[in-house]
Structure 1
């Protein structure tokens, strides 16, 4: 009986230790609306390092987690380009981040990212989260997954999280442009009606 109790206690202790030492996954961790975003520094396709703090002269940033290989991300590429064209001059440029592990998705490596950006004519930085330590902080789970940040005296604040719009299949069939609505509201100084939506896309790939 005593041995059984000791065994049960041992299992409980191991369980508790595991619970506190396991690394949180993006499914259960990340920024919420109103949170201040930590600065980050990632390599751009031109080889230069880009930080969030580089945008302190902007009104905000449209952070978009995307990649080369996901069909959903590819379907949204033109719309991401249009977001940057529409809002960069208004103070809300796009910053794209590729979060996948390239050992799982080789066609998402830096050289492939560079080629894709040239093919599509990206007008924004395309950064690689090589250590995969930035996307979990955001809580990104999909490609694409968008976080609209608004610059305040306290730092960049998360103001919108989720999808770009409500129709990934057909841009011409979109009836609600979530990101545009959020940025327009920030520019106008009015409340954002939908601050969170469900991101639709491929799961972010990690090595086993």
Structure 2
């Protein structure tokens, strides 16, 4: 009986420890550099933004209705904050095998059709999405550049109203970036990401 209890306890510890390890970046964590292909055909790394104050990193896609609903708001975030040192960096983590509308050529066409000024990268092997612990599109990670080290300052949703931008009275990402620009920490640094689940590769 004692051995059984010890074994159960060990399984419990391993399970939850594993979950913690695989949960992705949390607020305050330093993000490892990565390099992905941009819709312009060039490879782009997080370290390429070393001269910026930070990055508004958004896991996004072409096909999710939530991403489509936030498309103009994402473009506005880039337009409003790029000049202040916080450009938008969008990453499409969906497996094209499961979501053909998120294939690279479709991303290129979608970015052109919608007048994207921000970078839009493809996470082919989904390693970046897994490292961040991204679960949805859109899913935002506001990163603060601390002497070349990008640290997570906010994780979650863009605002609190998917359907109507004008009705959103909690603009989480805007508030987080504005706080950082003033040298403060975001009052709200984590919310629940609302959107479609990422289309992971099937084993």
In 1, the alpha carbon distance for the partners of 2:98 and 2:59 equals 17
**Residue 153 (structure 1) shift:** 2.2
Q: In 2, are the aligned partners of 1:26 and 1:136 still within 8 Å (CA)?
A: no
Question: For this pair of structures, how many residues does the alignment match?
Answer: 193
Tell me, which stretches of 5 or more residues in structure 2 are unaligned?
Answer: none
Q: Describe the superposition over 1:146-190 as per-residue Cα deviations: whole angstroms up to 9, x where unpaired.
A: 000000026001000000000001111111100000000000112
In 2, the alpha carbon distance for the partners of 1:27 and 1:163 equals 23
Larger radius of gyration: 1
CA spacing shift, 1:26–1:111, aligned 2, 3 Å: farther
Q: Secondary structure at the match of 1:172?
A: helix
Q: Given the two structures, how large is their TM-score scaled by the length of structure 2?
A: 0.89
Matching residue of 2:126: 132
Please tell me the root mean square deviation across aligned C-alpha atoms, in Å.
2.1
In 2, the alpha carbon distance for the partners of 1:181 and 1:126 equals 23
Matching residue of 1:50: 44
Matching residue of 1:37: 31
4+ residue runs of structure 1 moved beyond 4 angstroms?
Answer: 24-28
**Residue 207 (structure 1) shift:** 2.6
In 1, the alpha carbon distance for the partners of 2:88 and 2:33 equals 16
CA spacing shift, 1:154–1:122, aligned 2, 3 Å: closer
In 1, the alpha carbon distance for the partners of 2:112 and 2:96 equals 19
Q: Given the two structures, how large is their TM-score scaled by the length of structure 1?
A: 0.87
Matching residue of 1:197: 191
